[in-house]
Structure 1
Amino acid sequence: MATVDLLVIGGGINGAGIAQCAAAAGYSVLLLEKDTIAGQTSANSSKLIHGGLRYLESGQLPLVRKSLAERKALLKLAPSLVNPIPFYIPVYDTSHRSSWAIRAGLSLYAVLSDFDELGLFKSVPSVDWSKIKGLKLKGLKAVYQYWDAQTDDKRLTQAVIKNARALGAHVIEHAQCTHIEHLPSHCVVRYQTEEIAQEVEALAVVNAAGPWVNQVLENVFPPIAAEPIEWVQGSHLLLDIPANDGILYLESCFDKRVIFVMPWNGQTLIGTTEVVLDELSDKPQITAAEEEYLLGIYQHYFACLGDIDALKARVVDSFCGVRVLPKLSGNAFDQPRDTLQKSQLSHPKLLSLYGGKLTTYRTTATEVIEWVEDAIGERPSLANFDKLQLD
């Protein structure tokens, strides 16, 4: 039977980052992905590497500081994949967030970035407001411009996997984990590939299956308790409308949520929604209500040719990502976005990840490897994780 130090379940951005970090730290690594690398949530995000300006409203300052530090790091480590892009916040006479509130938030954002070059923001002169193509000017009181970054989430995840493989990690796609037996010293993991049953011994197992994290735990023996979670679907629409040069940060006209109108391959991408799902499908689909919601916000802020039906005719694509949030009271928009790492005394060789952000996958990976070191000991390091370039 094959033996590895660490087995990672899930080939999204978190699983990829953990495999890369573990391989750099000298561990033998096997990653199992039930479909294809970055085939689900990690290919269907808003494609942003950002500090999370809106998280300031819910008091998540440590997460924002960490995210801003990771934005800075990724701009250096992956310059061909992560690019700075201007964001614009229009403030209208009907906006819930006032000009002073926006300015205060951007000032705090700059402080939390340690006054990084991208932490600078400015008030856009009214003479330049018309340069934002299609933006309605009636009732517009102010426009603020700040910086964050954009990426191709799928390509970034694939680049991390490529680097992990170069460091010796073994990655298997279309590998369904079917059983995890937790023994005192290690775990025995069974998985299925092309109708062939495989078995491997792993000194430690990390469950990074994203929305399917609790489904993986159903295969653990002895049984283990799972965390109560919510599946929250975030949907996006791609419109055949020429894009602006930057990203519009817009307050929903239906509620106080924030959505983005972004350039994507020369067209206009709108997102995201937050809809709690009752069940999880293999291929999430945007609902009619979500489409109406996103197009309604776009129509509210931009001069459109025709009504909602005319806008629907411009929709060329849509995609949905499902993220995991802890099951708490209140709406999904205000819930914490940091990663929960769950290990139990009864199963000391198994760690499960709940939630997480694309931007902070590296800090998640570093924290997981600290757990691995405690669980099975250190190994001679192969590379400095913080200096690994991605392309």
Structure 2
Amino acid sequence: MEETELVVLGGGIHGVGVAQAAAAAGYRVLLLEKTALAAGTSSRSSKLIHGGLRYLESGQIHLVHKNLRERELLLKLAPDLVHRTTFYIPLYEASSRHTLSVRLGLWAYDLLAGFTKAPSSFRLPRSDWDDLSGLQTLGLKAVFSYSDAQTDDTALTRAVMHSARQLGAELCCPATFTSAEILGDHCQVKYQVGDIEKRVKCLAIVNALGAWGINLANRTTPPLPDYPFECIEGTHIECPGNNLSAAYYVESPTDRRGVFILPWGPRTLIGTTETPYYGDPDQLTPTQASIDYLQTIYQHYFPEHDATVLDAWAGLRVLPKTASSPFNRPRETVISVNDPKNPRFVTILGGKLTGYRLTAARVIDQLQSVLPSRTALADTAQLKLTPADDEFIPD
């Protein structure tokens, strides 16, 4: 039987973040991924590294503050992967948000970001409206500009795993987790590599499977409870580029949800939807209703643009089960442990791409009582991240 100190399940951004944090702290860690790094939700995000401007409306000020600090840190650590981007918020006569409330929200966003190189938000002069890439100006009453950042989420995930491996972390991919036995002083994990079943003994397990890891009761001994969370489908579409020179945060004219219209290489990226999903995560595909919803929003704000859908894809968020709409639910990451006094199995629920490093640090902190004392090898807040695409493409 193999032995290590920590087994991480799932090669999305949170899994590789935990692997990096554990290796940096001096621990032996093995990450198991069944398909490829960032094969699931971590390659199907809105590609944003941001504070989450809209979370201010629901009072999630601490979350926004943390994410803005992480945004600035990632801009320094990964300059080849994370890039500052100009965003515009157009407000119309029919908009549900008032000019003053948006101005105050952006002022708070600037304040929470602190002293950074990011340009301060401002109201765009009417004389500049003709330079807004064909934005609909009928009924337009104000346009605000602010700054956030974009990334290639797949490339960022691979870069973090590359950093983890440089520190000694091991990656097994493709490898399918089959079961885990949680014992008093250790755990045993079974996984499949091709036709070969393997076993590994470890001190703790981190479930970073996201939507694939909510219900693991039939694969753990003793069984873990199902979590009061649900999967939320987030669809994005890609249309021709249409010379879009900046990102736009607009309001759906039908349900008033916020939607991003973003430059994405030679294309325009529009997203996202938020619809409960109850099927098999491996069978997720964008619905025609979701595609039509996003295409209609794009055509509403940019009526002269080519809105041909070139591609569409969907990811799954994990959000708390509540009676409220997914758009208004808390976005704080939840970290659940099997036993607070003897945490051998830790599950990451929810979370944002931007905050992956802080989530990983919280996980390692939760496990301190069952992990041995080690001398740290590095600080993840100082580790540079560089592109490493070809290294993690399965054979």
TM-score normalized with structure 2 length? 0.95
Paired position in structure 1 for 2:287: 287
Q: CA deviation at 1:225?
A: 1.0
Paired position in structure 1 for 2:337: 343
Q: Amino acid of the residue matched to residue 332 of structure 1?
A: P
Q: 1:355 aligns with which of 334, 347, 350?
A: 350
Contact 2:228–2:321 (CA<8 Å) still a contact in 1? yes
Q: Amino acid of the residue matched to residue 357 of structure 1?
A: K
Any gaps of 5 or more consecutive residues in structure 2? 387-395
Contact 1:177–1:192 (CA<8 Å) still a contact in 2? yes
How far apart, in 2, do the equivalents of 1:210 and 1:297 lie?
29
| 1:378 maps to 2:373 | yes
How far apart, in 2, do the equivalents of 1:2 and 1:278 lie?
36
SS of equivalent to 2:281: coil
How far apart, in 2, do the equivalents of 1:217 and 1:385 lie?
33
Q: Amino acid of the residue matched to residue 309 of structure 2?
A: V
How far apart, in 2, do the equivalents of 1:226 and 1:219 lie?
12
Q: Deviations over 1:100-146 (max 9, x none)?
A: 01001001111111243326111111111111111111111110000
How far apart, in 2, do the equivalents of 1:159 and 1:278 lie?
32
Paired position in structure 1 for 2:83: 83
**RMSD (Å), alpha carbons:** 1.3
SS of equivalent to 2:249: strand
Higher alpha-carbon deviation: 274-283 or 90-99: 274-283
Paired position in structure 2 for 1:329: 323
Q: CA deviation at 1:230?
A: 1.1
Q: Amino acid of the residue matched to residue 296 of structure 1?
A: T
Q: How does 1:173-212 map to 2 (within 5 A)?
A: 173-212=173-212
* Runs of 4+, deviation exceeding 3 Å: none
Q: Amino acid of the residue matched to residue 358 of structure 1?
A: L
Q: CA deviation at 1:214?
A: 2.3
Q: Deviations over 1:30-50 (max 9, x none)?
A: 000111111010000000000
Change (3 A) 1:319 1:200: same
Q: How does 1:301-320 map to 2 (within 5 A)?
A: 301-304=301-304, 311=307, 314-320=308-314
How far apart, in 2, do the equivalents of 1:255 and 1:291 lie?
15
Paired position in structure 2 for 1:267: 267
How far apart, in 1, do the equivalents of 2:10 and 2:281 lie?
16
Q: CA deviation at 1:176?
A: 1.0
Higher alpha-carbon deviation: 370-379 or 233-242: 370-379
Higher alpha-carbon deviation: 233-242 or 181-190: 233-242
Q: Amino acid of the residue matched to residue 258 of structure 2?
A: V
Higher alpha-carbon deviation: 226-235 or 340-349: 340-349
Contact 1:243–1:264 (CA<8 Å) still a contact in 2? no
SS of equivalent to 1:385: coil
Higher alpha-carbon deviation: 211-220 or 133-142: 211-220
Paired position in structure 2 for 1:368: 363
Contact 1:32–1:171 (CA<8 Å) still a contact in 2? yes
Change (3 A) 1:275 1:162: same
Paired position in structure 2 for 1:251: 251
Q: CA deviation at 1:377?
A: 3.0
SS of equivalent to 2:255: coil
How far apart, in 1, do the equivalents of 2:338 and 2:231 lie?
23
Paired position in structure 2 for 1:32: 32
Paired position in structure 2 for 1:57: 57
SS of equivalent to 2:373: coil
Change (3 A) 1:358 1:156: same
Identity %: 45
Paired position in structure 1 for 2:149: 149
Change (3 A) 1:217 1:155: farther
Contact 1:50–1:359 (CA<8 Å) still a contact in 2? yes
Contact 1:33–1:172 (CA<8 Å) still a contact in 2? yes
Paired position in structure 1 for 2:239: 239
Contact 1:285–1:319 (CA<8 Å) still a contact in 2? yes
Paired position in structure 2 for 1:114: 114
How far apart, in 1, do the equivalents of 2:237 and 2:210 lie?
23
TM-score normalized with structure 1 length? 0.96
Higher alpha-carbon deviation: 200-209 or 111-120: 111-120
* Alignment size in residue pairs: 385
Any gaps of 5 or more consecutive residues in structure 1? none
Contact 2:35–2:174 (CA<8 Å) still a contact in 1? yes
